[in-house]
Amino acid sequence: KKTVPWVDVDDDDKSRKTPLKRNNDMVNVHDQHHSARKSKKARHSYLSMSDLPSENGDASSSNHSRRRSSGTAGPSASSTPRLIALQEQRRQLPIAQGKDALIEEIRNNDVTVLLGETGSGKTTQVPQYILESGLAENGQIAVTQPRKVAATSLATRVSTEQQTPLGSTVGYSVRFDERSSSSTRIKYMTDGMIVRELLSDPLLNKYSVVIVDEAHERTLRTDLLIANLKTIQKQRNRPRDEKGKGNADKMSPLKIVVMSATLDAEKFSKFYHNAKILYVKGRQHPVKIYHSASSQPDYVDAAMRTFFQIHTDQPPGDVLIFLPGQEDIESLENSIKLFANQLPCDTMDVLICPMYAAQAPGQNAKVFTQTPTNTRKCILATNIAETSITIPGVKYVIDTGKSKEKRYLARDSGGGFDTLLTKDITKSSAMQRAGRAGREGSGVCFRLYTEDAFNSMELSAEPEILRVSLTASILQLKCLGQDLEELDLMDKPDFDSIISALKTLWLLGALDNNKKLTPLGRQMASFPLEPPHARSIIASQAFACTAEVLNIIAVLSSSSKLFVDVSTFRDEIATARQKFRHPAGDHLTILNAFRAYEEVADSESKSARREWCRKHFLNERALLEAKEIREQLRQVCARAGIDWKATCGENEDPVIRSLGHGLTMNSAFLQPDGSYRQTMGQSIVKIHPGSVLCDKKVPAIIYDELIYTNQIYARGVSSILKSFFVTHAALNQRNA
Ligand code: CDP
Ligand code: MG
């Protein structure tokens, strides 16, 4: 087999071109120190051994805090060896040494910015310290995460540490799933969920501390949260006599903690009136970095070859491979499995653990379990393993240098669209990825790109607010009586992107001609869905086909794809799925598959059901999740007075019409030359090869999304009558 040629870049001269002092000093506390000194405005402190009592002193201080905590929900010195080991592990985390100093700072400041290497214990420990210190006596502690998987897995871990069942003291809240109760004190939640909570609790009175975690990722929701927290805190922390009469007494002060894994803490500090920045010193071991000597366009293949180079030549230690997305992960998983079976029998076994955001809860547990003897774990992950989740045992990192980035291409015509493209990562991501190899001892990172490529990478990613569609957020803010244009944001979005979102909302009937929220818009916002999907459900009421539309939207909202696509089985897949195919397109095909599954599910055993899905190349995980989502959506419908049982029976035309109301801007007409042209923009779009309508020519189509690769593909396509758009436009004008 061919091997990948490597260049050793551990050489001071060359690396001086990079922002790093030395390539093998990943997140270097001295660099942070340096940048801290440069700034006169922000206040800085270090939470490290040197600031605190000696080892003896430390031991007694941690005993002391444990004693103090035993009265509250804190863990009692407990029984099983596993729990004792767990508590010992907690005490060994770098952040444990700064615990008392950290709590003092949070006590004395409204806003604290906490910076620390991944794995130092920020996310799991800080909420527990706050709980044990009594700083959150009047409310809950919210810990926000950009990703659902991180929120649920962290809640599971921390509830184990607290020795309480998940959903009691420690819970989580993510879209379509919640585990919490009236006794919940620490709640891990996605940033999207807490922004939604503003609708029912505009001052977030339920929480006395909000921890904005992974703030460096600068997701759109995190930015909206950071902006809102600033005004909320101003209102809640006003001196008592200044607070107006009425409910002012009920308002308790709010503490904000912003946590970040990368170096750009200054920006958060400045935004919050020069809030104090605290640093946790980590325990980063040296990581030796190799760049590939030439570029590797087929990075999946290069990753596979590099893995086997490590596996056959290098001492034990787990391997973490960073890939852009689920498809690449699945394809690499297959090829590694194939070759691992052909190795001589004296080689170590390989245990593959995939890890990506769309995985069902619980699926990634394998990653955290101890590697069996004579086995090498190979973790295939997206950038979820970059900072949000720490995986123990990793000694080798293979970095493809790629990640998927969502970007909205706003068009002046209003027909903008989201793209999800595989892109080069940033320097700061590359550093984070390499750092994963040095958590428990010295490690090695193999970068599947040249050193020149590294040097020309962007320093850090652009905040999401500058590159994603703002439609859903603008609608949510309108419900709060806020305008995105007027919000005090860390970065202001482009004008084009705001206009495009306003146009979409107007087309959907959520805003009137004066950009004012309509009752329809308010109703749309009550669904935890993108506005077009919410609009389709509301439209289905008039067509009496809500049952069908809910089925389709539930499948589309599931975090994994229903139709499994394995290129080696393309013909078998087509034959197996033949019976679901609907001539009107993908939406009704989904409906057929979901219905067929439910029939099997009603009458067959669990294993028969699984076998049926396997035979038809359907992803049962997606179907199970869709059933749960449908249940949630039914409840929202019931609250909105929409009869979710209404069904249109055999004639499914109303289903397409309902979907059309939501997807008006996602439509295209057939051109005389056989291509399709967007109705809201000028782009030529092609029907995706995976679509039922792929080689069909129908006069007009609606689609779920456009995917931009070498050309613009429409995915999730249905045929619709051209006349629909004429009547629809006329109706909209009359209503506006
Ligand atoms: O937030 P930060 O990256 O600073 O660290 P953390 O997420 O609090 O993780 C601290 C340590 O807890 C990690 O080094 C892991 O060893 C451990 N951990 C775990 O074993 N399982 C989890 N699900 C989460 C954390
Ligand atoms: Mg963390």
CA–CA separation, 482 and 295 (whole Å):
48
Q: Which ligand is nearest to the CA of 94?
A: 1
Look up tokens 């906490």; give the residue: 114
- Beta strands across the sheet bearing 318-322: 6-8, 287-292, 443-447, 394-399, 318-322, 375-381, 349-355
Q: CA dist 425 to 91, 323, 355, 507, 517, Å?
A: 34, 11, 18, 36, 39
Residues with Cβ within 8 Å of 430's Cβ and at least 6 positions away in sequence, in order, are 399, 401, 447, 454, 457
Ligand 1 atom 25 nearest Cα: 390
As a whole number, mean pLDDT of residues 505-532 equals: 95
As a whole number, mean pLDDT of residues 73-96 equals: 78
Q: Of 178, 51, 41, whose CA–CA distance to 102 is shortest?
A: 51
Alpha carbon of 31 to ligand 1 centroid (Å): 24
Ligand 1 atom 13 nearest Cα: 119
CA–CA separation, 599 and 289 (whole Å):
54
Alpha carbon of 397 to ligand 2 centroid (Å): 19
Ligand 1 atom 10 nearest Cα: 121
Q: Of 245, 225, 243, whose CA–CA distance to 234 is shortest?
A: 243
- Give the environment of ion ligand 2: residues with CB less than 5 A: 122-123
Beta strands in 244-324 (DSSP E): 255-260, 276-280, 287-292, 318-322
Substitution site in 117, 118, 123, 124 for ligand 1 pocket (most atoms within 8 Å of beta carbon): 124
Contacts of the segment 602-611: beta carbons below 8 A, 24+ positions apart: none
Q: Which ligand is nearest to the CA of 115?
A: 1
Q: Which ligand is nearest to the CA of 90?
A: 1
Q: Which ligand is nearest to the CA of 124?
A: 1
What SS3 class is residue 260?
strand
Q: CA dist 420 to 325, 404, 417, 479, 712, Å?
A: 10, 6, 10, 28, 11
**Which atom, in ligand 1's list, is nearest to the CA of 213?**
1
Residues with Cβ within 8 Å of 265's Cβ and at least 6 positions away in sequence, in order, are 42, 113, 115, 258, 277
Ligand 1 atom 18 nearest Cα: 390
pLDDT of residue 243: 57
Geometric angle at alpha carbon 662, from 661 and 665, rounded to 5°: 95
**Which atom, in ligand 1's list, is nearest to the CA of 280?**
4
Look up tokens 């000694």; give the residue: 395
Ligand 1 atom 15 nearest Cα: 390
CA–CA separation, 524 and 517 (whole Å):
11
Substitution site in 153, 158, 390, 391 for ligand 1 pocket (most atoms within 8 Å of beta carbon): 390
As a whole number, mean pLDDT of residues 698-725 equals: 89
pLDDT of residue 635: 96
pLDDT digits (tens, 9 = 90+) for 100-135: 999 999 999 999 999 998 889 999 999 999 999 999
pLDDT of residue 574: 83
DSSP-assigned letter for residue 255: E
The bridge status of strand 255-260 relative to strand 207-212 is parallel
The pLDDT > 70 percentage for the chain reads 84
Q: Of 479, 513, 408, whose CA–CA distance to 196 is shortest?
A: 479
Dihedral sign for Cα atoms in the order 91, 93, 97, 101? negative
Q: Which ligand is nearest to the CA of 117?
A: 1
Contact 700, 667 (CB under 8 A): yes
Ligand 1 atom 22 nearest Cα: 157
Alpha carbon of 215 to ligand 2 centroid (Å): 10
Alpha carbon of 544 to ligand 2 centroid (Å): 47
Q: CA dist 557 to 56, 501, 554, Å?
A: 54, 21, 5
Alpha carbon of 261 to ligand 2 centroid (Å): 7
Alpha carbon of 213 to ligand 2 centroid (Å): 7
Alpha carbon of 614 to ligand 2 centroid (Å): 37
What SS3 class is residue 460?
coil
pLDDT of residue 245: 54
Ligand 1 atom 20 nearest Cα: 368
Residues with Cβ within 8 Å of 367's Cβ and at least 6 positions away in sequence, in order, are 353, 355, 377, 379, 389, 391
As a whole number, mean pLDDT of residues 655-683 equals: 92
CA–CA separation, 231 and 211 (whole Å):
16
Alpha carbon of 123 to ligand 1 centroid (Å): 7
CA–CA separation, 726 and 736 (whole Å):
16
- Report phi then psi at 336, rounded to 5: -65, -40
ipTM value: 0.99
Contact 24, 287 (CB under 8 A): yes
Q: Of 12, 18, 109, 1, whose CA–CA distance to 452 is shortest?
A: 18
pLDDT of residue 77: 47
> What's the one-letter identity of residue 636?
V
- pLDDT, mean over the chain: 85
pLDDT of residue 64: 35
As a whole number, mean pLDDT of residues 74-85 equals: 68
Look up tokens 């501390």; give the residue: 209
Q: Which ligand is nearest to the CA of 114?
A: 1
- Half-sphere exposure of residue 718: CA atoms within 13 angstroms, side-chain side: 24
Both tokens of 247, joined, read 């409910």
pLDDT digits (tens, 9 = 90+) for 525-557: 999 999 999 999 999 999 999 999 999 999 999
**Which atom, in ligand 1's list, is nearest to the CA of 125?**
8
CA–CA separation, 611 and 626 (whole Å):
19
pLDDT of residue 731: 58
Alpha carbon of 388 to ligand 1 centroid (Å): 9
pLDDT of 59 strictly over 60: no
Ligand 1 lining (C-beta closer than 6 Å): 93, 116, 118-125, 153-154, 157, 368, 390, 392
How many C-beta atoms lie closer than 10 Å to residue 372's C-beta? 10
pTM metric for this prediction: 0.84
Alpha carbon of 430 to ligand 1 centroid (Å): 20
Both tokens of 282, joined, read 């980590």
Alpha carbon of 478 to ligand 1 centroid (Å): 37
**Which atom, in ligand 1's list, is nearest to the CA of 153?**
23
Q: Which ligand is nearest to the CA of 120?
A: 1
CA–CA separation, 445 and 553 (whole Å):
42
Alpha carbon of 315 to ligand 2 centroid (Å): 29
Look up tokens 């020519």; give the residue: 697
585: left (phi over 0), alpha (psi -120 to 50) or beta: left
